[in-house]
Chain A
Amino acid sequence: MELQAVLMAAGGGSRMTDLIYNTPKPLLPVGNKPLMWYPLNLLERVGFEEVIVITTKEVQKMMSSDPKMKLDVKMKLDVVCIQEDGDMGTADALRHIQQKIKSDVLVVSCDLITDVALHEVVDLFRAHNATLAMLMSKAHEFTETVPGQKGKKKTAEQRDFVGVDPSGKRLLFMANEADLEDGLSIRKSIIKKHPRMHIKTGLVDAHLYCLKKEVVDFLAENKSISSIRGELVPYLVRKQFSKTANRQKMKDESEDQTQKKNDDSTNQELLIASRDESLLQLAQERSCWNDHHGDMSEAYHGGKLRCYVHILDQGLCYRVNTLAAYIEANRLAPKLFEEPAVHPSAVISEKCQMGSDSMIGALCQIADKTSIKRSTIGNSTTVKEKVKVTNSIVMHGVTIEEGCNIQGSVICSNAIIGRGADLKYCLVGNGQRIESEAERTNEVIVGTDQLMEI
């Protein structure tokens, strides 16, 4: 088997607490499908037949029990549960399933919505015999107004500095602004080997990684690494140019049996070991190809550890981990699948004005004289007469009484909007009830139990 897919669906969703109060992040509805469906659909389209899903017990229960959250994927899902309260990072989760991993892995995050041609990333992984291949995309500015945001919030988000070689494929440097104290310092060994480097900051990491099996074994030995994105990837990128890795290679050539396990184990695992290494070496020697020109070293500078990145220029690639991203994703998600915008079981009266870019879920009831534009209505929602819903996301089981005007808002599941309410750019939490004739603008309406304790 060539690649095993692993879907990380145990994430917290720490940046959108209001949305995930009742629904865990993997099951948030985007375009009336649970968020998990999108990466699973991507894997299914490409041809995967089995996926290992790492998730919490709660999500597993909801996946199997709740008919509204039915995941209609044809692949075999091997669900592995981990403790919800434990501080398990993505690398810890990989370590947890190390026994199941028998070949190279493709790790996907559950909040990734993309239409990338996956073979581009995997081809880099295959052709160059890489240790790591990942996907990144140019960041998009979110143009929609986010409910509950008071004024233009300066994104104090930490920037990522990504250094690539002139071809744009080889990953040379990766660091987060938080880790850099005084400034960006790049080791001389990197500059000697790659005198030209492009450093990009406007990239979004899609959290899609192809890792060699040796990396998973390495993780099992090194229990200090807990996050793939935060620790493992920068570590691997740094190790490409580490002197010890090259020295280790020479040591291995001279001494066949190295009994010491302490320092060697960290590097040995990373060295790509394959049977018939001598034949591959012979083929590479005889081949007249080099990945760089201008200096005296052989292809790949003789390094065995290589990290590659595919940067997506055009196309959809979103990580739904903030409210703004969630809203944007809802706008664009319908383009990803060809299901009709209106579910056949929805009951829509004839006098309803529905825009072409709206989506109506199953078993909905839309009454007369309603206007639904650029919105997504979830399953089993009731919309009474004379309601205007524009630019909004309405989740499942919501009741909207007559005469409401909802604009640019997000209404979570099982909420009830009283008649004549006027909501602009609001976020209505789960199960909330908005009283009649209410007028709310730019507010987050959640129950008191959802508020954080200080």
Chain B
Amino acid sequence: MADSGGTDEHDKKDDVERSKSEGKELTKEEKQRLRKEKKQQKKHKEKKDDKASQESGKENKSASSAAAAPQLPTQTVKVVKRLPEHIQVDNPEVLKKLAKKLERQQTPVHGATIKIPLRSDYGYKVSLFSHLHQYSRKAPLTQQLSIPSTVIHPAVVRLGLQYSQGIVAGSNARSVALLHAFKQVIRDYTTPPNEELSRDLVNKLKPYISFLNQCRPLSASMGNAIKFVKKEISNIPTQCKEEEAKSKILNCIEWYINDKIILAAKAIAASAIEKISDEDVILVYGCSSLVNHILFEAFEKRRKFRVIVVDSRPRLEGREALRRLVQRGISCTYVLISAVSYILPEVSKVFLGAHALLANGYVMSRVGTSQIALVAKAFNVPVLVCCETYKFCERVQTDSFVSNELDDPDDLIVTRKGKTHLENWQEVPSLGLLNLVYDVTPPDFVDLVITELGMIPCTSVPVVLRVKNVDQ
């Protein structure tokens, strides 16, 4: 709580300073807030000293507890900080709790309750990341499910499979696919007698979400989409008839996709195109659907530019980006990330996509992005991150270790000329394969974030979050 309170205060200070510098008078509310915060600060400083001695050496990422617990800065009650479960995999008690939670989330089918299966970890985990889950693609969760899946809706099973095999990858694609699956679930849903749709449907969705979480950890965009859907469902008035309620929810989901994803992409493309001038050399990394969309639109508007696609193993997503760009007729160059410092002198700007934007201004994106931003900074090349606002997240992170995703380590194994050298990597005791998926880029390396609300600096993310909360 203290941290988020700190950041709140920090950005409010920014706000205040900005409004001061702009010559506007501090509004009454802002003055009041300043006063309150100063009081809080004193109290929290006392509490912090107590807490620092009590807590173990783990860093307190209060993001989840901040998101979970209601934000009442004036409360001086001691809050027990809880770390999210998905980053405590090496703690056996937490695993037991997770197993129990899955049991509790059973869906009653034909009178019997069947629980969602628990996916087990695979292979040796590098010690620095042993607190995260690491699954194998060859052991899908569907092994433990019955074939005509009655426990979990077939659309959700299909979605989970597509996530774990990487057929649906990229945060926009995952969110859209998730909402599509939810639409099918809601269409096939019937309210059991003596139950209310608003409460029962949310309970029905919980086991599906745990199932999807086990297939592949949920992304920030998916989390926000789920929060939206749950809110919409619980806001259904009780006297509403089932058909009407269902069509209402389906329309809301349609609206969300249209507004937050499709229209947002259009708006971002419109503002980003202003930043692209003729004879530009643009560097992109991996395959970001938003950045690709911007480049397509810019090409339609007849801007003359060329693109350098940087790619990295093991995913090699840049190949797909390259294919899409070249298909449209954009002239491209393709390099691997190891050559980025060689190619950067040619580059005039860097466009990066984001998986999520964190509340302290850090950009969470595919592993390698922070590398590119760092090198670009060294070469004084402007870095622009394009991100829709629905990917903004209230979490706070300053490094890539605490909360990340470990992909299947067998992806790193490659067979060349018939020889697979790493085939028996599990037998070598001192060898661990690490396949990270995400990393965080500090806001110092990012010059501009292009969202549908406009072009903002990285540090204004909390402002946007605040504005969104007020709106809703």
Q: Which residues of A come within 8 Å of B, CB atoms?
A: 1-5, 46-49, 106, 117-119, 122-123, 126-129, 276, 279-280, 282-290, 293, 296
Alpha-carbon separation in the docked complex, A106 to B149 (Å): 13
The answer to whether B180 touches A46 (Cβ under 8 A) is: no
Bound form: Cα–Cα A287–B180 in Å: 14
Task: A1 to B153: give the CA distance in the assembly, Å.
Answer: 8
What are 19 inter-chain pairs, A to B, with CB distance below 8 A? A2-B147, A2-B157, A48-B148, A49-B150, A122-B147, A127-B162, A127-B167, A128-B167, A276-B183, A279-B177, A280-B177, A280-B180, A284-B168, A284-B173, A285-B173, A288-B170, A288-B321, A293-B319, A296-B326
Binding stretch for chain A, among B138-146, B189-197, B419-427: B138-146
A289 and B176 form a contact (CB under 8 A): no
Residues of A within 8 A of B170 (CB): 286-288
Q: Which residue of A lies closest to B253 (CB)?
A: A279
Closest residue of chain A to B149 (Cβ to Cβ) is: A2
Cβ of A290: which chain B residues have Cβ within 8 Å of it? Answer: 319-320, 323
Contact surface of B with A, Cβ cutoff 8 Å: 140, 142-143, 145-150, 154, 157-158, 161-162, 165-170, 172-174, 176-177, 179-180, 183-184, 257, 262, 286-289, 317, 319-321, 323, 326-327
Residues from chain A with a CB closer than 8 A to the CB of B154 are 1-2, 126
Q: A49 to chain B: which residues have CB within 8 Å? A: 148, 150
Min CB distance B227 to A, Å, is 20
| Chain B residues, CB < 8 A from A296 | 323, 326-327
At the interface, is chain A mostly helix, strand, loop or mixed?
mixed
Q: Which residues of A contact B174 (CB under 8 A)?
A: 287
Could you say which residues of chain A place their CB within 8 Å of the CB of B184?
276
**Minimum CB–CB distance for A168 against chain B, Å:** 14
Whether A119 and B140, one on each chain, are in contact in the complex, defined by CB atoms closer than 8 angstroms, is yes
| Chain A residue contacts of B319, Cβ below 8 A | 290, 293
Query: Is there an interface contact between B147 and A47, defined as CB atoms closer than 8 Å?
Result: yes
A residues in contact with B179, CB < 8 Å: 279
- A267 CB to closest chain B CB, in angstroms? 24
Contacting residues, chain A, for B177 (C-beta < 8 A): 279-280, 283, 287
Shortest distance from the beta carbon of A413 to any chain B beta carbon, whole Å: 35
Q: Is the CB–CB distance between A288 and B180 below 8 Å?
A: no
Rounded to whole angstroms, the CA-CA distance of A445 and B451 in the bound complex is 85
Does A289 lie within 8 Å of B168, measured CB to CB? yes
Whether the pair A279, B289 counts as a contact (CB closer than 8 A) is: no
**Could you say which residues of chain B place their CB within 8 Å of the CB of A126?**
142, 154, 157-158, 161
Chain B residues near A127: list those with CB within 8 A: 158, 161-162, 165, 167
A5 to B287 alpha-carbon distance, docked (Å): 41
Distance to closest chain A CB from B160 (angstroms): 9
B53 to chain A, nearest CB (A): 47
A119 and B147 in contact, given A276-B180, A290-B323 (Cβ under 8 angstroms): yes
In the complex, A284 Cα to B289 Cα: how many Å?
Answer: 11
Q: Once the chains are docked, how many angstroms separate the CA of A127 from the CA of B141?
A: 13
Bound together, the chains give a CA A126 to CA B288 distance in angstroms of: 26
CA distance A398 to B470 in the complex (A): 85
Query: Given A280-B180, A285-B173, A287-B167, list of 11 further CB < 8 A pairs?
Result: A2-B147, A2-B148, A2-B149, A47-B147, A117-B143, A119-B142, A126-B161, A279-B177, A283-B180, A284-B173, A289-B169
Q: A126-B161, A282-B176 are in contact. Are A289 and B147 (CB under 8 A)?
A: no
Inter-chain contacts of B145 with A (CB < 8 A): 47, 119
Contacts of A3 in B (CB 8 A): 147-148
State in angstroms the CA–CA spacing of A3 and B150 once bound together. Answer: 10
When distances are taken between beta carbons in the complex, the residues of chain B under 8 Å from A5 are 148
Give Cα distance in the complex from A289 to B184, angstroms: 23
Select B147's contact among A118, A279, A288, beta carbons within 8 Å.
Answer: A118
CB pair B167–A288 under 8 Å, yes or no, is: no
Q: Is the CB of A123 within 8 A of B168?
A: no
**Docked pose: A38 CA to B172 CA in angstroms:** 45
Contacts of A284 in B (CB 8 A): 168, 173
**Residues of chain B contacted by A287 (CB below 8 angstroms):** 167-170, 173-174, 177, 289
CB distance from A426 to the nearest CB of B (A): 42
